[in-house]
């Protein structure tokens, strides 16, 4: 519950008087205010700067240092004040959190110092208000990256003999500066990539004439030499690829990565060529395959950080570039169509079709103007000039505007995405807080009931159960309890509600079946069947018997209300699964009988006798969860 709102709890409770005439049942007793102290000022001395506040202000958040009894450790008897040897600047923010309920992050503060202070005072940073949350997260992320970088460089320098051979190899591949061998490997592969690319290029240069034949490209003249070079390069690349294939921790992911695909594409043509040399028909295709050898140049991106960044930039601007391309395409199609129809009339026109006019349009719009296609008609010339003028506008002018615009929109989108993610996170936090408070109520109900059940047997085990809830919390829970009494319905959590829905839809089991359960008198507990109203007689009769047996296990009972619904997923498996859970106590023959379900704790309300006794027959048929919980444990 928010801090300031806790101050309005008296008002909410007073307003509850409005329900009283409507309610049919008596209300539960209010929690007693044991220590009704007058509100007093307390002095907090933080490194010499004195802060003063009301005691109740600090008690709004009982699970922090200042709100709990932990601050008594810092109480100075001589000066009658609480002394903290911490930063007073950050303490200002912390104290404002107690006052206003909102935690702010000052921008000038170092993030790790701030985190340390928050940890000291027991405040979770997640509750930083939305106004400062983005800044906080950004700084936190930067800090984390810095720490990671530091760690990485640390790791690189220290030797790690415990790594396996495979792991060392992977590290060597990813980061050539780790060892000399890796560096050598790195440079060797780089050299061979360069050699391979240069070979491909030089192959096609005409190499001077061999006497008696026409001019040949070098590739054909010194074909053996070039072939040897190519073989050497491909062998090196193959070995490298195989080594890279062996090393990574996740081979599947490595195979799918871009670099490995480039590697494969770079060396495949050679092997395909080896296989296919004798077949003349496919030599044309083989020649085409050689084009792919140029992809070896992309292998350089492993060696060049800049190339990688360029590739990443293009990938991230893909949508903007796509839009640019799309608008260009539109303009090209428009102008090509216009030019085609304009030039249709002239004879010997090169504009034979619209696709043929595309070439003209592109050349004109990019202001290249090769001159291989020129319009001859007047209309064609007019439209051609419009085309070239608009080309300047379409391409040259907006590109910087678009680029800067899209960069701005891109960042805005990032921020919008961030804000959306933060909004989701914020709503999730609010939801968690809400369910936390509603769950807190349900938990305290179960705890309270267990406490009362404990008191039935009169053992001083009350220390085990339930944590001490603050006075405000107990008053709030009392208020919710009054609401339950007014409306004669109870709060339950979502899973139980769905179970109930399932049950009520399957209410075909007649109540006549339940007497068959009562035919097993030997059972201390029976499988549960739940009708619309429960009896409260059973627990009192059963509890003492089972309670004595399981006294020591009580402290280990976890209220498994939330676990149990997982047992009951489908109707058909309902009986079986419930049997699994309560096997020692239920006879499996009861599968045919009434609905087995896990009842909710609130059934056990010793004070709730005002609820009319249910119509179900026999006390043996019903069992509240407390007993069933106990039963589960005592089944040992």
Partner 1 sequence: MGAVMGTFSSLQTKQRRPSKDKIEDELEMTIVCHRPEGLEQLEAQTNFTKRELQVLYRGFKNECPSGVVNEETFKQIYAQFFPHGDASTYAHYLFNAFDTTQTGSVKFEDFVTALSILLRGTVHEKLRWTFNLYDINKDGYINKEEMIDIVKAIYDMMGKYTYPVLKEDTPRQHVDVFFQKMDKNKDGIVTLDEFLESCQEDDNIMRSLQLFQNVM
In terms of CB distance, is 99 or 587 closer to partner 1? 99
Closest CA to 265 of 294, 245, 286: 294
Tell whether residue 472 is a contact of partner 1 (CB under 8 A): no
Tell whether residue 288 is a contact of partner 1 (CB under 8 A): no
Tell whether residue 303 is a contact of partner 1 (CB under 8 A): no
The strand pairing partners of 44, in sequence order, are: 51, 82
At its nearest, how many Å lie between partner 1 and the CB of residue 89? 24
Among 12, 131, 235, 258, indicate the residue that binds partner 1 (CB under 8 A).
Answer: 12
In terms of CB distance, is 336 or 626 closer to partner 1? 626
At its nearest, how many Å lie between partner 1 and the CB of residue 14? 4
Q: Segment 83-112, which members bind partner 1 (CB under 8 A)?
A: 99-100
φ/ψ (deg, to 5) at 169: -60, -45
Contact predicate 477/444, CB 8 Å: yes
Tell whether residue 40 is a contact of partner 1 (CB under 8 A): no
In sequence order, which ranges of 70-164 are alpha helices (DSSP H)? 88-100, 111-121, 130-157
* CA distance readout (Å), 597 to 103, 498, 523, 582: 45, 12, 18, 11
Dist. CA 634–CA 636, nearest whole Å: 5
**Cα-only R_g, the chain:** 40
Tell whether residue 34 is a contact of partner 1 (CB under 8 A): no
End-to-end CA distance of the chain: give it in Å, rounded: 40
Tell whether residue 21 is a contact of partner 1 (CB under 8 A): yes
Dist. CA 244–CA 255, nearest whole Å: 10
In terms of CB distance, is 189 or 475 closer to partner 1? 475
- Number of neighbours of residue 259 by Cβ within 10 angstroms: 15
Dist. CA 363–CA 369, nearest whole Å: 5
> Which H or E run includes 225?
helix 223-246
The strand pairing partners of 52, in sequence order, are: 43
Among 132, 321, 403, 492, indicate the residue that binds partner 1 (CB under 8 A).
Answer: 492
Measured on CA atoms in the order 579, 583, 586, 591, is the torsion positive or negative? positive
The strand pairing partners of 103, in sequence order, are: 128
Dist. CA 498–CA 504, nearest whole Å: 10
The piece of 213-221, 416-424, 429-437, 541-549 that touches partner 1 (CB under 8 A) is 429-437
In terms of CB distance, is 79 or 532 closer to partner 1? 532
- Number of neighbours of residue 303 by Cβ within 10 angstroms: 15
Tell whether residue 242 is a contact of partner 1 (CB under 8 A): no
At its nearest, how many Å lie between partner 1 and the CB of residue 400? 40
Tell whether residue 636 is a contact of partner 1 (CB under 8 A): no
Dist. CA 26–CA 127, nearest whole Å: 39
In terms of CB distance, is 233 or 604 closer to partner 1? 604
Among 139, 296, 299, 476, indicate the residue that binds partner 1 (CB under 8 A).
Answer: 476
In terms of CB distance, is 197 or 538 closer to partner 1? 538
φ/ψ (deg, to 5) at 84: -120, 130
Tell whether residue 502 is a contact of partner 1 (CB under 8 A): no
At its nearest, how many Å lie between partner 1 and the CB of residue 468? 20
Tell whether residue 150 is a contact of partner 1 (CB under 8 A): no
Residue matched to tokens 């509100």: 39
Token pair recorded at residue 303: 């060696």
Dist. CA 173–CA 171, nearest whole Å: 5
Total interface residues for partner 1 by CB under 8 A: 63
At its nearest, how many Å lie between partner 1 and the CB of residue 72? 24
Among 126, 149, 150, 494, indicate the residue that binds partner 1 (CB under 8 A).
Answer: 494
b/e for 64-74, b at 16 or more Cβ within 10 A?
bbbbeeebeeb
In terms of CB distance, is 504 or 572 closer to partner 1? 504
Contact predicate 89/46, CB 8 Å: no
At its nearest, how many Å lie between partner 1 and the CB of residue 560? 18
Tell whether residue 38 is a contact of partner 1 (CB under 8 A): yes
Tell whether residue 532 is a contact of partner 1 (CB under 8 A): yes
Among 93, 103, 496, 554, indicate the residue that binds partner 1 (CB under 8 A).
Answer: 496
Tell whether residue 429 is a contact of partner 1 (CB under 8 A): no
* CA 212 and chain centroid, separation: 74
Q: Segment 605-624, which members bind partner 1 (CB under 8 A)?
A: none
Tell whether residue 30 is a contact of partner 1 (CB under 8 A): yes
Among 89, 135, 320, 493, indicate the residue that binds partner 1 (CB under 8 A).
Answer: 493
Among 168, 327, 437, 524, indicate the residue that binds partner 1 (CB under 8 A).
Answer: 437
Tell whether residue 471 is a contact of partner 1 (CB under 8 A): no
Among 124, 382, 428, 501, indicate the residue that binds partner 1 (CB under 8 A).
Answer: 501
Give the contacts of 476 (CB within 8 A, at least 6 positions apart): 1, 9, 441
Tell whether residue 159 is a contact of partner 1 (CB under 8 A): no
Tell whether residue 489 is a contact of partner 1 (CB under 8 A): yes
Tell whether residue 130 is a contact of partner 1 (CB under 8 A): no
Token pair recorded at residue 515: 């007497």
In terms of CB distance, is 97 or 226 closer to partner 1? 97
The piece of 22-30, 104-112, 228-236, 555-563 that touches partner 1 (CB under 8 A) is 22-30
Residue matched to tokens 């109480």: 75
Tell whether residue 176 is a contact of partner 1 (CB under 8 A): no
The strand pairing partners of 43, in sequence order, are: 52
The piece of 28-36, 122-130, 313-321, 521-529 that touches partner 1 (CB under 8 A) is 28-36
Tell whether residue 490 is a contact of partner 1 (CB under 8 A): yes
**Helix, strand or coil, per DSSP, at residue 334:** helix
In terms of CB distance, is 10 or 398 closer to partner 1? 10
Residue matched to tokens 């079986």: 576
> Which H or E run includes 378?
helix 378-391
In terms of CB distance, is 12 or 201 closer to partner 1? 12
Contact predicate 332/365, CB 8 Å: yes
Tell whether residue 158 is a contact of partner 1 (CB under 8 A): no
Q: Segment 586-605, which members bind partner 1 (CB under 8 A)?
A: 600, 602
* CA distance readout (Å), 164 to 160, 168, 171, 179, 247: 9, 6, 11, 15, 10
Among 45, 357, 469, 486, indicate the residue that binds partner 1 (CB under 8 A).
Answer: 486
Among 102, 303, 513, 533, indicate the residue that binds partner 1 (CB under 8 A).
Answer: 533
Residues forming contacts to partner 1 in the complex (CB under 8 A) are 1-2, 4-5, 7-27, 29-30, 32-33, 38-39, 54, 56, 99-100, 434-435, 437-438, 476, 479-480, 482-484, 486-494, 496-497, 500-501, 504, 532-533, 600, 602
């Amino acid at each position: 519950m928010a801090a300031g709102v806790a101050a309005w709890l008296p008002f909410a409770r007073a307003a509850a008087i409005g329900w009283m005439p409507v309610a049919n049942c008596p209300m539960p007793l209010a929690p007693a205010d044991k220590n009704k102290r007058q509100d007093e000022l307390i002095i907090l001395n933080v490194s010499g700067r004195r802060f003063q506040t009301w005691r109740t202000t600090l008690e709004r958040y009982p699970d922090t240092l200042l709100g709990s009894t932990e601050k008594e450790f810092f109480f100075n008897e001589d000066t009658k004040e609480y002394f903290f040897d911490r930063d007073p600047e950050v303490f200002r923010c912390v104290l404002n959190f107690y006052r206003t309920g909102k935690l702010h992050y000052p921008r000038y503060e170092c993030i790790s110092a701030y985190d340390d202070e928050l940890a000291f005072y027991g405040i979770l940073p997640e509750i930083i208000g939305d106004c400062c949350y983005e800044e906080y997260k950004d700084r936190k992320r930067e800090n984390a990256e810095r720490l990671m970088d530091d760690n990485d460089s640390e790791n690189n320098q220290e030797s790690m003999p415990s790594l396996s051979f495979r792991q060392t190899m992977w590290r060597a591949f990813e980061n050539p500066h780790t060892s000399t061998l890796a560096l050598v490997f790195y440079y060797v592969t780089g050299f061979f990539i360069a050699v391979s690319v240069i070979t491909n290029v030089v192959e096609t240069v005409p190499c001077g004439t061999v006497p008696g034949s026409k001019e040949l490209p070098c590739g054909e003249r010194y074909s053996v030499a070039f072939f040897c070079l190519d073989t050497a390069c491909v062998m090196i690349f193959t070995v490298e690829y195989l080594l890279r294939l062996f090393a990574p921790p996740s081979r599947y992911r490595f195979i799918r990565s871009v670099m490995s695909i480039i590697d494969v594409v770079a060396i495949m043509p050679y092997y395909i060529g080896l296989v296919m040399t004798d077949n003349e028909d496919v030599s044309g295709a083989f020649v085409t395959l050689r084009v792919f050898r140029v992809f070896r140049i992309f292998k350089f991106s492993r060696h060049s950080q800049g190339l990688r960044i360029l590739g990443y930039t293009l990938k991230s601007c893909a949508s903007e570039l796509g839009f640019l391309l799309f608008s260009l395409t539109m303009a090209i199609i428009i102008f090509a169509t216009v030019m085609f129809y304009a030039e249709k009339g002239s004879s010997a026109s090169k504009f034979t079709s619209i696709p043929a006019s595309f070439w003209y349009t592109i050349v004109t719009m990019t202001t290249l103007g090769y001159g291989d296609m020129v319009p001859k008609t007047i209309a064609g010339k007019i439209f051609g000039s419009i085309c070239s003028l608009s080309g300047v506008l379409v391409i040259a002018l907006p590109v910087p505007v678009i680029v800067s615009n899209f960069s701005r929109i891109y960042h805005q989108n990032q921020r919008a995405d961030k804000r959306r993610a933060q909004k989701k996170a914020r709503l999730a936090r609010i939801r968690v807080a809400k369910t936390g408070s509603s769950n807190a109520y349900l938990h305290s109900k179960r705890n309270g009931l267990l406490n009362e059940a404990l008191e039935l047997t009169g053992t001083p085990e009350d220390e085990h159960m339930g944590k001490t809830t603050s006075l405000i919390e107990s008053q709030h829970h009392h208020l919710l309890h009054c609401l339950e009494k007014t409306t004669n319905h109870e709060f339950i959590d979502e899973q139980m509600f769905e179970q109930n829905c399932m049950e009520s839809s399957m209410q075909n089991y007649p109540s006549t079946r339940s007497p068959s359960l009562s035919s097993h008198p030997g059972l201390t507990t029976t499988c549960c069947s739940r009708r619309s109203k429960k009896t409260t007689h059973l627990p009192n009769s059963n509890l003492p018997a089972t309670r004595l047996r399981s006294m020591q296990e009580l402290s280990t009972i976890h209220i498994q209300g939330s676990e149990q619904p997982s047992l009951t997923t489908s109707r058909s498996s309902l009986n079986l699964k419930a049997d699994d859970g309560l096997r020692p106590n239920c006879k499996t023959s009861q599968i045919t009988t009434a609905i087995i379900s896990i009842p909710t704790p609130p059934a056990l309300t010793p004070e709730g006798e005002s609820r009319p006794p249910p119509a179900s027959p026999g006390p043996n048929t019903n069992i509240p969860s407390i007993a069933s919980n106990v039963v589960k444990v005592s089944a040992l």
